[in-house]
Amino acid sequence: MLLNRIAVAPAAESKVEAICQASDVIGRCVYISGPEVGGKYQVSTVDPQNGSKIPSIGVIVEKLTSTTCIVQLSGALKDIVTGLTPGKALFVGAGGILSHSLPSPGISFAYVQPMGVAVDSNALLLSPSLSIIKRIA
């Protein structure tokens, strides 16, 4: 059987400047933590074991100041996360880190949010899903 190859364009890269916490670091998944201030989203690192700190909207890719960052919402993301397995899905993990593993439910539960797929050991296509599943211990 012959299969025709279909060209699929990755999601367009989308980034926004946001107000973040001084403790938020590059490579962490973030959620909207407050109302817009001066046209900028307020974001904080997600916590998959806290329903009020999810869903993730994207990943911090740059810190402009200790409390101002660039969040990538979608598209090709390279050299921010390493050790990836091409073709495997990525999820929000503990501490807001992108992980191939589902988050551990800990004592009671964890929320599972798909974030994209690895395309190389240091690159992924970021496409945060709003379809979130509650994983019970």
pLDDT in tens, 125-135: 999 999 888 88
> pLDDT band at residue 25, thresholds of 50, 70 and 90?
very high
Q: Whole-model pTM?
A: 0.88
- Quick check: helix, strand or coil at residue 41? strand
Beta carbons within 8 Å of 42's beta carbon, 6+ residues apart: 18, 19, 20, 32, 33, 34, 35, 36
- What's residue 1's pLDDT? 42
> Do residues 82 and 122 make contact, with C-beta atoms less than 8 angstroms apart?
yes
